[in-house]
Homo-oligomer: A and B are copies of this chain.
Amino acid sequence: MSERLIYLPLGGAGEIGMNAYVYGYGAPGKERLILVDLGVTFGDMDTSPGIDLIMPDMRWLEQNKKRLEGIFITHGHEDHVGAVGYLWNKLKAPIYARQFTGTLARLKLEEMGLPADTVNIVAARPEVVELGPFKVQFVPVSHSIPESGALIIDTPAGRIVHTGDFKLDGTPVVGDAFDPALWHEIAKEGQGVKVLTCDSTNIFSKHPGRSEATLAEPVTEWVLAQKGLVVTTTFASNIARLKTLADAGAAAGRKVCLLGRAMRRMVGVGTETGILTDFPDTIGPEEAAGLPRDKVMLIVTGSQGERRAASAQLARGRYLGLSLKEGDSFLFSSKTIPGNERGVIRIMNAFSELGVNVFDDNDGAYHVSGHANRPDIEAVHDLLKPQMVIPMHGEHMHLRQHMKLAQGKGIASAIIVNGNVTDLSGDRPKIVDQVETGRLYLDGSVLIGAMDGIVRDRIRMALNGHALVSVIVDEEDNVLPDAWVELMGLPDRTRGGDDLSSHVEGELAEFLEGADDRTVRDDGKMDEAIRKITRQVCMEEIGKKPEVSVIISRLMAD
């Protein structure tokens, strides 16, 4: 049987987040494999209450880890590198990344007590990593974090370009500019590009993306116009933006103070790796608190309304000796990710109550996106002239729109989602198999499966409340007359004003007194009957059916 080139997303295709893409080359079922990215996504109250981090279920790759040659991390965003500390142990393949990204990956491994030296630092093209049938190069691209890298993956079946996250920015302030000449060169080499696996995040944005450099002037003008303390927020990893903001603060004669662990860490790694130069001197919160308000700019974490970040702490009151008041100004140099609106709005209103003037991105004057918009994506299609386009890094609707864009230009394309084993050997992508994929939840310190029912039970308790019933059966299989009912997350009183638990206890006592021996001896039957009665009584009395847990204690003769 001949060899083939395959693509298999395990995360990131059909969703935005937790990127993990497998490529393989070899005889079917025996392909040598590489993994591109190993990221996380974040939980939310609607679908995953109590869950901080979500990551791809790598079961398939774990089962095939002997075939895994290496893991390439395109850039340092959490949705690309965030799962390294949690999942590397299951895969144990060497990691390859550029300097800045690799440093972040090493920190993550160290935090989990894993060997940081598994991370190999790779220079940008022309350096080539040769692993089995793969020759891989990192191509500098512009994005909202420095040293983002597209990958050139050369295989015996042809060249793949995997864009990672990118935008077309010729003046990105920090990090690599997008270089069309370089991409032109990549398209011309050898047989050209067989497959372009391409970021789809902003496929619905119709206008060409704007450069980070366009922000300097409006942001500086904005800072100059403010009279009190100035606070700005953006993603901690957006080092270029931190520089744009800090430079604007300095230009306006303000001292800059960074608040939030993630932000200080990013600036530290940026400086350490030589990426970030000329960053204005920063001061600590104590010094900031001692200066006149119009001489200080805080740059803080929490642009998405995260409850524990610096922005939320400031919104609630004093934080590290600093507090905001009437006449101060707060700028969201960011866009709210869909789903985070409520959290951001909560903070905006809290600031409003303090008398703080809140500013959003002002239709883009104070924020630009890190992803390529539709015209930019088209430009890359045109530059690389790939035989086929595989849309990735998108929800289903993004992938579909991107596919249509490619097909409209006569390029072969398909919607490939997590778990689709896709043969790229021919002249169009062909789904040839389906592997089991899914999500792992980091719950406290334990990884659980999204489908294990644990989170489902939490959601049910949140929606329906929880009734606990305790029943005791004595040594002679007599039920003691009192069932005990404890309610959690349920009203105390019925519609008629009675005590709800007493009411349920009364109905249960009636049942237990009349229950026959066969029922009483059978835990399953007892459980079912008690559950049913409890739910029915609650439905009648309060109009909802709670979750019910029944504990039957059987006393043993000594």
Contacts and interface: CB of A to CB of B under 8 A. Distances in A.
Interface of A: 14, 44-46, 49-50, 338-339, 341-342, 345, 348-349, 351-353, 358, 395-397, 399-400, 443-446, 448, 452, 454-455, 457-459, 461-466, 468, 470, 472, 480, 484, 486, 488-491, 493-495, 539, 542-544, 547, 549, 551, 553, 555
Contact of A461 (B339, B445, B488): B488
Given A50-B544, A543-B444, A462 B462 contact: yes
A355 to B, nearest CB: 8
10 closest A-B pairs (Cβ-Cβ)? A445-B543, A444-B543, A444-B544, A462-B462, A458-B489, A49-B462, A352-B397, A338-B341, A457-B489, A461-B461
Given A353-B396, A542-B445, A454 B553 contact: no
Contact of A542 (B339, B443, B480, B539): B443
Query: At the interface, is chain A mostly helix, strand, loop or mixed?
Result: mixed
Contacts of A468: 468, 486, 549, 551
Contact of A446 (B46, B395, B397, B543): B543
A342 B543 contact: no
Contacts of A543: 443-446
A196 to B, nearest CB: 21
Contacts of A490: 454
Given A397-B348, A459-B462, A448 B491 contact: yes
Given A339-B341, A551-B551, 16 more contacts: A45-B46, A46-B342, A49-B463, A341-B341, A348-B395, A349-B397, A444-B542, A445-B495, A446-B495, A446-B543, A458-B489, A461-B461, A461-B466, A468-B549, A486-B549, A488-B547
Nearest to A460: B489
B345 A338 contact: yes
A551 B486 contact: yes
B464 A50 contact: yes
Contacts of A49: 45, 459, 462-463
Nearest to A547: B488
Contacts of A45: 45-46, 49, 462
B50 A465 contact: yes
B352 A489 contact: no
